Structure 1
Amino acid sequence: MTLIELSLILVVLGLMTAVLISLVPSLTRLASMESAIDDVSSAQNAVAGFALATGRLPCADDDQDGLENCPAVAGGFPYLTVGLGGPLRNAYGYDYRYAVYSRSDSTPMNDAELTKASDRWQPTLVSGLEPTTALTVMGSSTPLDLCRALGVAQAGTVNDQSLYVERQTSREAVAYVLANPGQADRSGNGSLFDGLNAEGLDFEHPVRGSSREYDDSVSAVRFNQLWEQLGCSAQLATAGHAHPNVLSTLAMFRQTIRDYQDQLELVEEMAFADNFQTGASIASASAAVAAAAATAPTATASAINTAGATAAAVPAAGTAISGNAALVATATAAQATAITNLNTVRGQLDELALLIEELDELHDSVRDNVIDADTDALSAQ
């Protein structure tokens, strides 16, 4: 090769090297951006896993140690709390900002404090029917309760006390956000986070693009997205209908048996009254027999003394004795029947008492199973 050809080759190689060197930062930054995007996806999956395990969303990290600091709802991302090995940072090495929706309510079923594991789901209601038992929560906080909170939050209105994203004049409440601070403070507010992302619970909408005043990016997870991640539809359809409806049916049946017990106790009182009445009839008929028997000697003596003038009184006294004796026999038979009825009713009451006791035990057992189903409803996933 001539010196000229060698020189040309060296020039070309130099130009190629210069171009490649100039591309290295861009390629490195692109790789970092792709890695950061993957990190955001991993963080969202970690949050969903945390929610499945605890029935709530993590609080924010307000001291940058990677651990949540409840009840903080805005700050750093608690990567250690959700099980990640390192902090969530963008391509330029800056930490993300994290915020989560939280709106409390004194009524459990209306509470949407997503960072709090609270028992909100009340499955003892049967659709279209009046409650058969007191409306009390089940005493167990699970992801199903978080599903309830997500549904309440989805239907709620946006307010300044809870997380939302904003685009021009439009506001939308979301479950949580991860805000990427970009590379520089383009808005000149003294923070890497531009616009609404710098502080508070209002964030820029994810659709806002980069500009001379803004280089942040916001990843927002909406309530319905998290709902699907947690499998709320399928799990609430299963645990929210089958098990609680069995409990509701059993509660209604138990109340029906108790109503029947009240009626049977009334029948017992009536049977006891019949027994008492037949006893009184026997006593009355016996007294009439005694009175008729007492008149028989008198009638006989009178017939003798009057030479037969009052002889008709003697057979009349005998007839009275016979009639009242028949009444005694009838009343005795009636009393025997009343005693039999009374004993039968009391036997049924005893059997019913045992049945009620067994039903109470069954009801409590089913209720425990409903709580277990509430607790373990997502174990199948």
Structure 2
Amino acid sequence: MSARRRIAGFSLLEVSVVLAVLGLLAVGFTAYWASAERASVARAQQQLMVRAERALVGFIYETGRLPCPAPDHDGREACGDPAQKGLLPWRTLGLPTRAAGELRYGVYRNPDQDLDLARAADRFNPLLTDAEGTPSEPPLGNANMLDLCFALDRAAAGDTDPALLHTSTGGTDTNVAYAIAAPGLSDDDGDGSRFDGRQASGEPVFDAPSRGASAVNDDRVATASFDGLAGYFDCVEALAAIGHTHFNAANSARMMAITSAEYLELLRLQLRQAEASTVSASAGVAAAAGGLASGTADTALAIAQTIGSYGTLSPIIAAGVASVVTNTSATVTAAAGLGAAIAGVVEAERRVERAEKLVPDAVDLA
């Protein structure tokens, strides 16, 4: 009897040990499964947020503004609602997955200063100039990316306003252009919403992305600062260049008109100089020809005198011949100079003719 009790007791102990081991394994497996599931959800939500931000960039390029928040999971923006915080308008952005409707989305909207980033408006007026060179900044009557850039620049220069979309660390508030948040795997803070922390609030505030995960908050947050978004679209360079392009081009055109007129006068002076060179070269040819004629006459006279003197004056012939040779060379040189001068006149006339056509065009452009 006692032996059977010992065997039965030993069997009960074994069962207890086995159950304890199984319990430990079950706890370990459950913890591992929860950790793996949390990591899987985090990766999927991270990829979804990246796709959402890319869609936002494409939307901005297309419309020149950020989308308004969606009031529900249907995913369509509601710009008639002035709310700054809602759900991601995934249908409006063209995202193909309904899961994107689970993301919280906020956008900076400040209508009092015409800085509603979800509204396309004509805000940026570049510097223009009229025909008299008077500068002005009239509205252009259209809305494009430059107007969004201008709004981002003004918003970045403004003071922090906690009534507008911002992130908070509990001690520091920072206004941002937009914010996107994913709810994580579970309701860690136990408030009945998968969103934890400031994301669960209806106020235009999100936790700062620098806040790490904790036991009561596993949300993921991504934001874009005004300067960061402006830098992505090269807003500073675009505003600086386009803001003064018309004014600079107008001034350049006026300077070109003045320079073209002065250049025409210079070419006309060169033409007159070339014409004077032609006259001078013609005089040189005439002088050389006269010298040649005189040398020829002297040679003929020398020959006659030599015949009359029975050859005693023959050296005079050599001097006459030398004079003829010298004046012949001078005549050839003068003729070449005259040809060059004439060619210079032709080229100068061609340049003047071209400049005379350029000056009216430059004046019209100015």
Task: Supply the AA of the counterpart residue of 1:162.
Answer: L
Q: In the alignment, what sits opposite 1:185? A: 187
- The 1:150–1:76 alpha-carbon spacing in structure 2 relative to 1, beyond 3 Å, is same
Q: Secondary structure at the match of 2:146?
A: helix
Higher fraction of helix = 2
Task: Say whether the 8 Å CA contact 1:132–1:252 is kept in structure 2.
Answer: no
Task: Say whether the 8 Å CA contact 1:132–1:251 is kept in structure 2.
Answer: no
Task: Supply the AA of the counterpart residue of 1:153.
Answer: A
* Number of aligned positions between the proteins: 232
C-alpha distance in structure 2 between counterparts of 1:48 and 1:189, whole Å: 33
The partner residue of 1:40 within 49, 53, 65 is: 49
Q: Secondary structure at the match of 2:153?
A: helix
Q: In the alignment, what sits opposite 2:308? A: none
Task: Say whether the 8 Å CA contact 2:85–2:204 is kept in structure 1.
Answer: yes
Q: In the alignment, what sits opposite 1:103? A: 110
TM-score (norm 1): 0.53
How far does residue 245 in structure 1 lie from its aligned partner after superposition? Answer: 3.2
Task: Say whether the 8 Å CA contact 1:167–1:205 is kept in structure 2.
Answer: yes
**1:81-101 Cα deviation digits (max 9, x unpaired):** 112111355xxxx81110001
Task: Say whether the 8 Å CA contact 1:52–1:230 is kept in structure 2.
Answer: no
How far does residue 195 in structure 1 lie from its aligned partner after superposition? Answer: 2.4
Q: CA RMSD in A?
A: 3.4
Q: Secondary structure at the match of 2:92?
A: coil
C-alpha distance in structure 2 between counterparts of 1:249 and 1:83, whole Å: 45
Q: In the alignment, what sits opposite 2:239? A: 236
Task: Say whether the 8 Å CA contact 1:103–1:162 is kept in structure 2.
Answer: yes
Q: In the alignment, what sits opposite 1:84? A: 95
The partner residue of 1:138 within 126, 137, 140 is: 140
Which structure has the larger Rg?
A: 2
Where do 1:105-124 residues align within 5 Å?
105=112, 111-124=114-127
Q: In the alignment, what sits opposite 1:168? A: 170
Q: In the alignment, what sits opposite 1:337? A: none
Task: Supply the AA of the counterpart residue of 2:230.
Answer: W
Where do 1:225-264 residues align within 5 Å?
225-246=228-249
Task: Say whether the 8 Å CA contact 1:40–1:88 is kept in structure 2.
Answer: no
The partner residue of 1:206 within 209, 224, 234 is: 209
C-alpha distance in structure 2 between counterparts of 1:239 and 1:37, whole Å: 37
> Which sections of structure 2, spanning at least 5 residues, go unmatched?
1-25, 257-359
How far does residue 28 in structure 1 lie from its aligned partner after superposition? Answer: 5.1
Where do 1:290-305 residues align within 5 Å?
none
Q: Secondary structure at the match of 2:211?
A: coil
How far does residue 185 in structure 1 lie from its aligned partner after superposition? Answer: 2.9
**1:314-358 Cα deviation digits (max 9, x unpaired):** xxxxxxxxxxxxxxxxxxxxxxxxxxxxxxxxxxxxxxxxx9xx9
TM-score (norm 2): 0.55
2:71 matches 1:62? yes
Where do 1:260-299 residues align within 5 Å?
none
- The 1:28–1:188 alpha-carbon spacing in structure 2 relative to 1, beyond 3 Å, is closer
C-alpha distance in structure 2 between counterparts of 1:54 and 1:118, whole Å: 11
C-alpha distance in structure 1 between counterparts of 2:112 and 2:160, whole Å: 15
